[in-house]
Chain A
Amino acid sequence: MTWHAVDGAGLALATGRPPQPPGATSPAAALAAAPVATWPITTVADDGRRVDVADALGPGGARVAVLLERLATRPPPPADLDLAALAQATPAGPVPAPLAAVGLAEAVEATARVDEAWLAAVDGCRSAPRAPLVAAGRGTELEAALHLAMLVATGPIDEGLPAEERVASGARVWLLGGAVAWALLGAGRDLADTDVDPFEAWADLVSYGIWPVGPVDGRLVVGVDTTSAAWRPPGFPLTTATT
């Protein structure tokens, strides 16, 4: 029995035709080999049985599917999104600094002064899930989740972004990688030695197209793309620090 990544109509992503065996050895391996991503994306076996992204990725897969769906379909953030609370719950721990919601260009400029100790802590946290996931035999699921995240995120993140602001999209993909890996690791389950997913709050921000940059000069900077969707953070006029 082999598996194929297919679009919502059940057609192979590579050819746009019904999938032909042999495919991949598992639903996750099929997703990891998907050449392009449409949304929705699912997997189908040679015998026609279907397994969706959430189930293909195993524990934590449902959370990954939610994040990917937001990236693919780009709904506006919910009206009650608490930007300050989510932004202050950084992957390296709470940062109760005043929030500064700024445009992308200003956010990129601010990256040169991001708190380095904080960034190093996020970096360590970001890479922590890989070893336990691989040791638990879930390396293929991790690769599939990262691969799909890259495929789904690249288009929306790139769209309308001036070339010089590559750093902004790079940062969001960097965060997304951590978010997806932590979602699979699953805080509160056997593999994680913590009850808290450190990327949970920032994963929500990134999946809604918001770029939490980090602590900069005593403020917590959040970048908002003012060139595309009309969403603006309620209560946070751009380029204004607030407590």
Chain B
Amino acid sequence: MSTFTTEQPFTTTVADAAEAQALGDEYVIAVGKVIASHVRNELAGATVFDEPAIALAPGPQEKWLACRIAMEEYGHHLKFNRLANELGLPDPMAGRPLSVFEFELQSWVEFIVLKAVVDLAEVVLMEDLLQSTYLPLRNLAAKLLPEERFHVSFGRARTTEALKDPGRRPEVQRALEDLVRFTLPFFGRSVSANNEAFRRWGIKRDTNDGARARFIERAHSFARDLGLDFPDVSTTWNP
């Protein structure tokens, strides 16, 4: 067990996989868990949401934008997978994707709200990695964030457009409520040994509840701007 604590975490920058391994198993396991989670979840997002959305798209422009987004998410999976390989992780695909990927996408409206909401959660997580002690992870997050932010802005813009038709408001409202609830567990349990290890080693700074609170605040703001009701949700999650 390291001598670092969440109050006095490890702060030295780790330049590459060799330096990470020199720090010992505890650091490699912690940073490996964060990377492996992104490997699985970026692929799950591309497969479960983005690829089906190509067929749901109402027109050519939407179809090809959805294809582009699928391509970007798949690219993110590959880039995180490369980090996993460099670090010598045994099989980053071995764990389960997060429960948000159990959401069954049925319509284009759900997809655009999903981009505004679920990808916002990804943005919140990636922003935290911009301070990570593991430099390859920090650099990759900086590289991928513009694309994740584009996905969110795409979702917001298309949702705004959809709401110009008052008849679609109930569908958008329902999608927002469902997706916010599906997304909350994305940040992990309120009490989490993994999160504590990530913060001890400076891989992340946020607590799970802190990240969840930032997501709720920003998602709430999105809903308010569009005149949508935001569901009554908690910043804590203890299933």
Minimal beta-carbon separation of B71 from chain A (angstroms): 5
Contact stretch, chosen from A80-88, A163-171, A200-208, A232-240: A163-171
Residues in B neighbouring A46, C-beta threshold 8 A: none
Chain A residues close to B by CB (< 8 Å): 14-15, 35-36, 108, 111-112, 114, 116, 119, 123, 127, 150-151, 154, 163, 166-171, 173-174, 214
B85 and A170 within 8 A (CB): no
Which residues from 36 to 75 on chain B have a C-beta closer than 8 Å to any C-beta of chain A?
54-55, 59-61, 63-69, 71, 74-75
Interface string of B84-115 (1 = CB under 8 A from A): 01100000000000000000000000000000
Q: Could you tell me the distance between the alpha carbons of A112 and B86 in the complex, rounded to whole angstroms?
A: 43
B59 and A171 within 8 A (CB): no
A123 and B68 within 8 A (CB): no
Q: Could you tell me the distance between the alpha carbons of A168 and B61 in the complex, rounded to whole angstroms?
A: 9
Q: Could you tell me the distance between the alpha carbons of A232 and B55 in the complex, rounded to whole angstroms?
A: 33
B85 and A112 within 8 A (CB): no
Q: Could you tell me the distance between the alpha carbons of A15 and B55 in the complex, rounded to whole angstroms?
A: 37
How many inter-chain residue pairs (CB < 8 Å) link A and B? 65
B71 and A170 within 8 A (CB): yes
Minimal beta-carbon separation of B16 from chain A (angstroms): 13
B68 and A173 within 8 A (CB): yes
Minimal beta-carbon separation of A154 from chain B (angstroms): 6
Whether, in the assembled complex, B150 has its beta carbon less than 8 Å from a beta carbon of chain A, the answer is yes
A174 and B54 within 8 A (CB): yes
Instruction: Kindly identify which residue among B61, B66, B81 contacts A111, using a CB–CB cutoff of 8 Å.
Output: B61
Known: A119-B63, A150-B75, A170-B71. 16 other contacts (CB 8 A): A14-B85, A15-B86, A35-B81, A35-B82, A112-B61, A116-B59, A123-B55, A123-B63, A154-B75, A163-B146, A166-B65, A166-B68, A167-B65, A170-B64, A170-B65, A170-B67
Q: Could you tell me the distance between the alpha carbons of A119 and B62 in the complex, rounded to whole angstroms?
A: 12
Q: Dominant SS at the A interface?
A: helix
Given known A15-B85, A174-B54, contact A111–B71 (CB-CB < 8 A): no
Whether, in the assembled complex, B140 has its beta carbon less than 8 Å from a beta carbon of chain A, the answer is no
Closest to A216 in B: B60
Identify 17 residue pairs between A and B in the complex whose beta-carbon atoms are under 8 Å apart, listed by A's number. A14-B82, A35-B82, A108-B61, A111-B60, A116-B60, A150-B74, A150-B75, A154-B75, A163-B146, A166-B69, A167-B65, A170-B64, A173-B71, A174-B63, A174-B64, A174-B67, A214-B60
Instruction: Kindly identify which residue among A35, A127, A163, A171 contacts B85, using a CB–CB cutoff of 8 Å.
Output: A35
Residues in A neighbouring B67, C-beta threshold 8 A: 170-171, 173-174
Chain A to chain B: the 3 pairs with minimum beta-carbon distance, closest first: A170-B68, A14-B85, A170-B64
Instruction: Kindly identify which residue among A15, A36, A150, A171 contacts B64, using a CB–CB cutoff of 8 Å.
Output: A171
Q: Could you tell me the distance between the alpha carbons of A123 and B61 in the complex, rounded to whole angstroms?
A: 13
